[in-house]
Amino acid sequence: MATLVVLGYFTTVQATEDTSQHPIVANSNHQTPLTASEGLPKELSPEQIENLETEKYTFQTEVSRLMHLIINSLYKTREIFLRELISNASDALDKIRFISLTDPEALKTKAGLGITIAADPERKTLVITDTGIGMTRQQLKENLGTIAKSGTSEFLAKMEQNNDAITQIGQFGVGFYSVFLVADKVTVASKSNDDPDQYIWMSTAVDDFTIAKDPRGNTLDRGTQITLYLKPDAYRFLQEKNLKELVHKYSQFITFPIMVWSSEEQEVPVSSTQAKKEDIDALLNDDELIEESIDQEPSSDEQTEKRLVYSWHHVNVQKPIWMRDPKDITDQEHKEFFKSVSREREDPLAWTHYKGEGEIEFRSILYIPSVVTDVFFNNIKNDQSNKPIKLFVKRVFISDEVELLPKWLSFLKGIVDADDMPLNVSRETLQKHRSLRIITRHLVKKALDMFSSLSKSDPEAYKKFLGQYSTILKYGAIEEQSYRKKITSLLRFASSFDTESFSSSLDDYIDRAKANQKSIFFMTGSNIGEIEQSPFIEALLARGYEIIYFTDPIDETFVENIPGYNGKMFVNIAKADIDFAEDDKDFDRDNELEAKYKPLTDWLIKTLDQHIEKAVVSRRLTTSPLAIITPKNGLSGHAQRVLDAQGVNHKNPNMEYIMESMRLQKKILEINPSHPVMETLLDYVEEDNITKDVETLIQLMYETTAIRSGFPLKDMTQFAGRVEGLIRKAVGVSISEEAKVRVKKAEEKTKEEKLADEELKKTNIVYETEEDDMEHDEL
């Protein structure tokens, strides 16, 4: 059998699955129904209060100052009072459980360990009870009347001067005083094993508090019961729905069961007798009677009626799986937990469960969502942080506003549960503490290990991961120099060896590199098809070199910030200065070709002066006649298109000037000395046989080459005109001959149509006037 705490009293219910480790379990729907007030604690009567032999104490000065700050400034949201009280209750339960490991007698006074929360709408009170270690009279005075820590005055002075200067908050155990955010009167009843009597502490958060022996007697056996007399503007915390939501939000992973006094409409026998509190004590000693009460079903001919039945609802049923051995957690449990934490619908791609030990102890679980959301990219674009990690301290939810991951990893979801963490009073934001840096370092390492493990264990899932997150990883490599090599090793690309997306790593590329190859050759483009049509790849493919195909808009920026990998430098084959291993051997041949084609290159520079800086004999072309090359520090055609599409130049005037300068930068024209068109043009130049048509053709040839090389044309109208002129000449049509236009011109408006338009204008004016009058009436 298992026991259920009912605010100082017990009801015995059948233990259910997954509750064997907790003596306090969720109530069965079959128990004898209780009325709204019968599960609530017995309040002190006015006569008892009047006859109390109280001792009055003044709050320590620091406590008064602290309460003033808490109530008026520090806490962002009032609802955290419940989190603080549950956290304190959990600590008290942890203490008695720890003592019981060496002293089993400690739990004899109260076997059940748990927390109950009950609202009384009539009295406007909220009662939180735990069966923890409890407090003696002296402990009530010390724990709730003073802050027994050195340096408190200095700490409070800093806090009053500048909240941002706080670095040690949370070391002082001041969470209890958050009750005065919602209550104007608080009573605390507590019973400790070390004191024969139960005592009560009372305060109205002014300057003093009183302590007295509880006239109700030892109603708790052991533990603490806090009764909050709520302020009128805090009555929403009396609603059962709100209480359950707050427990679920902040404390769903507390080790001990948290029960909320709840109502539910049920069909019950008309003759059913309401269980009284005195009956509950009798039931404790009669197991057979209990079992009969639970299992007995009403007979079919017995009259029933709908009635609000009150019972205890176990709220924190979601167990903290991060506290379990990773080997004992099934994949399905991880998927369900991920969805509960992240509110995602799809299963995660992968996860890692980690326990950090050493400098700081913590547990964490990180998940990779199957799809990256637009919110992530919008936050990155607006220089805002995604904060997907929920921070717990000893299973108590602290915040999801703490940056525990760098921006480029903030697509991950998960939790971190630290055993010891300095907090600020509000627990809404953590200080930039060394512990956080240590945790972040561990999390980044475990995340990268998770990606690496996924690439080996499930290549298809890893391709799906890269399809969503490769751009983000490249951003991380640019931002984080310390993780640059590791991140780069995780990336995958298409290449001339295998054009499938995410097929080759840089390590694969280097393994396939040729003898004496010092470079990693790459080409950028909007897609693989565009790259494969580029003239730039011809010579390398002909020589047997592999080319990596970069199709991600960030790729060119990525390689500019990652100049090399494992001793080999990245080389953009669309830019100047490509070195081949056999260059030295062809030095004499190249000089001969340069000299031979100098008349043609000189003529091309003169003819295409507005476009090119120089013309040279190419080593990279095999089948195409021309190629347009960007200077080493210039913008490639693909990069220019990407930046234009992003509108970078319109957002920043300085950037607009720089971009325009780079666009206007003249290019390098490479000619293929083996192409018949170039050989013929050389003959034309040497024979001085250059006509106007030849000049037009070379202009058209340059523009088509620019398109193939990825550059946008400055004047599409001129390009279209040259193409049309070439076609006209080929088909024998004069350049001056125009198309015959056979269309009927539209008629002018009639007088009637013009009058109708005028009437419509008048109608619009009337409507606007009426709207203005309405606005004035409202004002």
pLDDT digits (tens, 9 = 90+) for 55-80: 777 766 566 666 666 555 545 578 88
Class of domain 492-559: alpha beta
**Whole-number percent of the chain with pLDDT over 70:** 73
- Position 61 scores a pLDDT of 56
Query: Is 173 known as a binding-site position?
Result: yes
Check pLDDT > 60 for residue 30.
no
Burial 475-505 (b: 16+ CB within 10 A, else e): bbbbebeebbebbbbbbbbbbbeeeeebbbb
- Position 445 scores a pLDDT of 95
Write down the domain spans for the chain.
Answer: 2-314, 321-477, 492-559, 575-735
Q: Give the span between the Cα atoms of 628 and 626, in whole angstroms.
A: 7
Query: Is 323 known as a binding-site position?
Result: no
- Position 25 scores a pLDDT of 38
Q: What is the band of 148 on the pLDDT scale with cuts at 50, 70, 90?
A: very low
Q: Give the span between the Cα atoms of 364 and 323, in whole angstroms.
A: 9
pLDDT per residue over 213-222, tens digit each?
999 899 999 9
Q: Which amino acid is at 596?
A: K
Check pLDDT > 70 for residue 383.
no
Which whole number is the average pLDDT over 353-368?
90
Residues near 175 by beta carbon (within 8 Å), at least 6 away in sequence: 84, 85, 87, 88, 427
Which whole number is the average pLDDT over 577-584?
59
Burial 263-292 (b: 16+ CB within 10 A, else e): beeeebbeeeeebebeebeebeeeeeebee
Higher pLDDT, 173 or 109: 109
Query: Is 637 known as a binding-site position?
Result: no
Q: Give the span between the Cα atoms of 357 and 320, in whole angstroms.
A: 19
- CB-CB contact of 492 with 548 (8 Å): no
* CATH tag for 2-314 (out of 3.30.365.10, 3.40.1030.10, 3.30.9.10, 3.30.565.10): 3.30.565.10
Query: Is 729 known as a binding-site position?
Result: no
Higher pLDDT, 591 or 185: 185
Query: Is 172 known as a binding-site position?
Result: yes
Which whole number is the average pLDDT over 227-254?
91
Residues near 683 by beta carbon (within 8 Å), at least 6 away in sequence: 689
Which whole number is the average pLDDT over 374-384?
70
- CB-CB contact of 9 with 277 (8 Å): yes
**Whole-number percent of the chain with pLDDT over 90:** 31
Residues near 646 by beta carbon (within 8 Å), at least 6 away in sequence: 553
Which whole number is the average pLDDT over 477-494?
94
Q: What is the band of 152 on the pLDDT scale with cuts at 50, 70, 90?
A: very low
Q: What is the band of 199 on the pLDDT scale with cuts at 50, 70, 90?
A: very high
Q: Which helix (H) or strand (E) holds 161?
A: helix 152-161
Check pLDDT > 70 for residue 52.
yes
Check pLDDT > 60 for residue 388.
yes
- Position 637 scores a pLDDT of 66
- CB-CB contact of 147 with 62 (8 Å): yes
- Position 724 scores a pLDDT of 80
pTM of the model: 0.67
- Position 281 scores a pLDDT of 40
- Position 539 scores a pLDDT of 83
In a 3-state reduction of DSSP, which class is residue 12?
A: strand
- CB-CB contact of 415 with 395 (8 Å): no
- Position 155 scores a pLDDT of 45
* Residue of 617, 615, 534, 516 whose CA lies nearest to 572: 534
- CB-CB contact of 171 with 263 (8 Å): no
Residues near 662 by beta carbon (within 8 Å), at least 6 away in sequence: 634, 635, 640
Query: Is 130 known as a binding-site position?
Result: yes
- CB-CB contact of 492 with 474 (8 Å): no
> Helices 598-607 and 587-596, interaxial angle, to 10°?
60
- Position 602 scores a pLDDT of 92
pLDDT per residue over 550-562, tens digit each?
999 889 889 888 8
Check pLDDT > 60 for residue 399.
yes
Q: Which two tokens stand for residue 302?
A: 């017995």
Query: Is 678 known as a binding-site position?
Result: no
Q: Give the span between the Cα atoms of 622 and 107, in whole angstroms.
A: 88
Q: DSSP characters for 730-773?
A: HHT--TT--PPP--PPPPPPPHHHHHHHHHHHHHHHHHHHHHHH
DSSP letter (8 states) at residue 111: -
- Position 513 scores a pLDDT of 93
Q: Give the span between the Cα atoms of 475 and 454, in whole angstroms.
A: 20
Query: Is 192 known as a binding-site position?
Result: no
Query: Is 567 known as a binding-site position?
Result: no
CATH topology of domain 575-735: Four Helix Bundle (Hemerythrin (Met), subunit A) (1.20.120)
Q: Which amino acid is at 208?
A: D
CATH topology of domain 321-477: Ribosomal Protein S5; domain 2 (3.30.230)
Q: In what order do the strands lie in the sheet with 413-418?
A: 350-356, 362-368, 413-418, 389-393, 396-399
Higher pLDDT, 671 or 266: 671
- Position 70 scores a pLDDT of 57
In a 3-state reduction of DSSP, which class is residue 464?
A: helix
- CB-CB contact of 368 with 350 (8 Å): yes
pLDDT per residue over 693-747, tens digit each?
888 888 888 888 888 777 777 777 778 878 887 788 778 787 778 777 788 888 8
Least confident piece of the model among 4-13, 39-48, 648-657: 4-13
| Residue 266 β-bridge partners | 307
- Position 443 scores a pLDDT of 94
Highest mean pLDDT range out of 18-27, 68-77, 537-546, 707-716? 537-546
> Tokens 């109260």 belong to which residue?
110
Higher pLDDT, 502 or 40: 502
* Residue of 462, 539, 454 whose CA lies nearest to 501: 462
> What average pLDDT is seen over the chain?
78
* Residue of 225, 224, 228 whose CA lies nearest to 237: 228
Check pLDDT > 70 for residue 170.
no
- Position 264 scores a pLDDT of 83
| Residue 259 β-bridge partners | 116, 314
- Position 263 scores a pLDDT of 86
Q: What is the 3-state secondary structure (H, E, C) of 201-257?
A: EEECCCCEEEEEECCCCCCCCCEEEEEEEECHHHHHHHCHHHHHHHHHHHHCCCCCC
Q: What is the band of 289 on the pLDDT scale with cuts at 50, 70, 90?
A: very low
What percent helix, strand, coil does the chain show, rounded to 5?
A: 45, 20, 35
Check pLDDT > 80 for residue 333.
yes
Q: What is the band of 179 on the pLDDT scale with cuts at 50, 70, 90?
A: confident
Q: What is the band of 193 on the pLDDT scale with cuts at 50, 70, 90?
A: very high
Query: Is 427 known as a binding-site position?
Result: yes
